[in-house]
């Protein structure tokens, strides 16, 4: 491509030669010549040089051998089936997280979902009861939409940790994935439900499902929502009660790990750690195909040279 620099001296020499002029004759006045109409030949007098420069530029680019690149990739993913079991009890509206515990948990979970490639992920929610918000899917867009619709108050209040874990396990029961994981997030103590948390943990262990448990809430006191007799919501400072012993035992029995999130940043760090611990196996085969692009440029350059010959020796031919 450095040969294109030669265009500068070529243009300079052409301008110099044009200004110097050719053969000359002496006449008494040029006034009559100046008033003569300028024909098409006058306006096209520089066309051969322009065509020659254009042809030279195209030849240089053709010599540089431009290529088109077509990249093909094939991904073979051995994903992990992951169920998120999220507490949506009234206490998840506590304001020790911004804007509250539930919204912070949803936001961080959404980022976690976006980072997982090749995995099937589902969402179960629980309070006094539990149900599946989204079954296992690889459709991240739909999953994000279903997660955004999670809110507190849609089922009877309470904290049925065992039921929440059991619902998630039921969704993983027929999974054929080699690795199956439940991420259980809660901010309280089990006080409802027909299934004891540790019984659900034993079922998970028998099924070969690993459970990561997350306790959400500051240590000490936090502002909890309280409804007054008029139906208005106010916030009162109350003790944060999380059954860390049970959550730790659930994780221990299933080969998982217990985490405590005291703020949103810590919660994000926990999901990042789980993301690192549970890596999916993804194999990518890439194929690169090169397509030569110089031939059209070469043909165009030859056409311009032919056109330059026609202009110089036929259209603008001069008598010596």
Q: For residues 158 and 197, give the distance between their C-alpha atoms in angstroms, rounded to a whole number.
A: 14
CA distances 62 to 30, 65, 309, Å, are 47, 5, 21
Per-residue pLDDT, 226: 85
Q: Is residue 24 part of a domain?
A: no
Task: Say if residue 161 is in the same domain as residue 114.
Answer: yes
Q: Is residue 17 part of a domain?
A: no
Task: Say if residue 193 is in the same domain as residue 314.
Answer: no
Give which of 319, 293, 302, 298 is closest to 51, Cα–Cα: 302
pLDDT band at 111 (very low <50, low <70, confident <90, very high): very high
Position 5 pLDDT exceeds 90: no
pLDDT band at 14 (very low <50, low <70, confident <90, very high): confident
Task: Say if residue 275 is in the same domain as residue 248.
Answer: yes
Q: Is residue 6 part of a domain?
A: no
Per-residue pLDDT, 195: 95
Give which of 256, 264, 273, 263 is closest to 168, Cα–Cα: 256
pLDDT band at 241 (very low <50, low <70, confident <90, very high): very high
Task: Assess contact for 123 and 168: CB atoms under 8 A.
Answer: no
According to DSSP, residue 316 is labeled T
Q: For residues 267 and 109, give the distance between their C-alpha atoms in angstroms, rounded to a whole number.
A: 9
DSSP states of 185-243: EESS---S-SS-HHHHHHHHHHHT-EEEEEEES-SSEEEEEEE-TTS-EEEEEEE----
Task: Assess contact for 76 and 116: CB atoms under 8 A.
Answer: no
CA distances 144 to 108, 141, 221, 249, 287, Å, are 11, 5, 32, 30, 33
Position 125 pLDDT exceeds 60: yes
CATH number at residue 89: 3.40.50.410
Per-residue pLDDT, 181: 96
**Domain residues for 167?**
77-283
pLDDT band at 318 (very low <50, low <70, confident <90, very high): low
Position 131 pLDDT exceeds 80: yes
Q: For residues 250 and 258, give the distance between their C-alpha atoms in angstroms, rounded to a whole number.
A: 8
Q: Which of 31-45, 253-267, 285-299 holds the top average pLDDT?
A: 253-267
Considering only 13-27, 85-99, 223-237, which range has the smallest mean pLDDT?
13-27
Task: Say if residue 93 is in the same domain as residue 209.
Answer: yes
- pLDDT tens profile 283-294: 556 677 888 888
Would residue 208 be called left, alpha or beta, if left means φ above 0 and alpha means ψ between -120 and 50 degrees?
Answer: left
Task: Say if residue 255 is in the same domain as residue 303.
Answer: no
Task: Say if residue 221 is in the same domain as residue 103.
Answer: yes
Task: Say if residue 263 is in the same domain as residue 318.
Answer: no
Per-residue pLDDT, 77: 58
119-144 average pLDDT score: 95
Q: How many domains are contained in the chain? A: 2
Q: Write down the mean pLDDT value for the chain.
A: 87
Task: Say if residue 61 is in the same domain as residue 83.
Answer: no
Per-residue pLDDT, 150: 95
Per-residue pLDDT, 261: 95
Query: What's the pTM?
Result: 0.65
Considering only 49-63, 86-100, 132-146, which range has the smallest mean pLDDT?
49-63
Q: Is residue 317 part of a domain?
A: yes
155-175 average pLDDT score: 95
Task: Say if residue 99 is in the same domain as residue 242.
Answer: yes
- Residues 35/41/42/48 CA torsion (nearest 10 deg): -170
Q: Is residue 250 part of a domain?
A: yes
CA triple 52-53-57, angle to 5 deg: 115
Task: Say if residue 230 is in the same domain as residue 303.
Answer: no
Task: Say if residue 244 is in the same domain as residue 308.
Answer: no
CA distances 87 to 29, 38, 317, Å, are 102, 88, 90
Per-residue pLDDT, 34: 62
Q: Is residue 117 part of a domain?
A: yes
- pLDDT tens profile 169-223: 999 998 888 899 999 999 989 999 999 999 999 999 999 999 999 999 999 999 9
């Amino acid at each position: 491509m450095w040969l294109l620099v030669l265009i500068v001296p070529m243009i300079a020499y052409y301008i110099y030669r044009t200004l110097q002029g050719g053969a000359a004759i002496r006449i008494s006045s040029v006034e009559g010549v100046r008033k003569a109409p300028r024909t098409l030949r006058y306006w096209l007098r520089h066309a051969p040089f322009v065509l020659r420069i254009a042809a030279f530029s195209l030849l240089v680019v053709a010599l540089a051998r431009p290529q088109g690149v077509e990249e093909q990739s094939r991904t073979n993913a051995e994903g992990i089936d992951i169920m998120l079991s999220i507490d949506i009890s009234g206490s998840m509206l506590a304001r020790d997280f911004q804007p509250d515990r539930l919204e912070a948990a949803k936001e961080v979970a959404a980022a976690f979902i976006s980072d997982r490639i090749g995995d099937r992920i589902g969402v179960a929610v629980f309070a006094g009861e539990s149900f599946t918000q989204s079954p296992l899917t690889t459709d991240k867009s739909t999953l994000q939409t279903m997660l955004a619709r999670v809110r507190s108050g849609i089922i009877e209040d309470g904290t049925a940790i065992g039921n929440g874990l059991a619902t998630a396990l039921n969704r993983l029961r027929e999974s054929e994935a080699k690795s199956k994981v439940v991420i259980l997030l809660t901010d309280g103590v089990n006080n409802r439900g027909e299934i004891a948390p540790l019984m659900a943990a034993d079922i998970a262990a028998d099924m070969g499902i690993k459970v990561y448990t997350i306790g959400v809430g500051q240590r000490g006191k936090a502002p909890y929502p309280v409804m007054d007799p008029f139906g208005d919501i106010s916030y009162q400072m109350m003790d944060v009660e999380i059954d860390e012993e049970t959550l730790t035992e659930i994780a221990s029995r299933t080969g998982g790990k217990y985490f405590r999130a005291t703020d949103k940043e810590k919660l994000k760090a926990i999901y990042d750690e789980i993301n690192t611990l549970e890596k999916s196996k993804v194999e990518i085969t890439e194929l690169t195909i090169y397509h030569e692009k110089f031939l059209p440029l070469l043909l165009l350059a030859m056409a311009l040279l032919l056109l330059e010959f026609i202009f110089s020796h036929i259209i603008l031919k001069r008598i010596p």
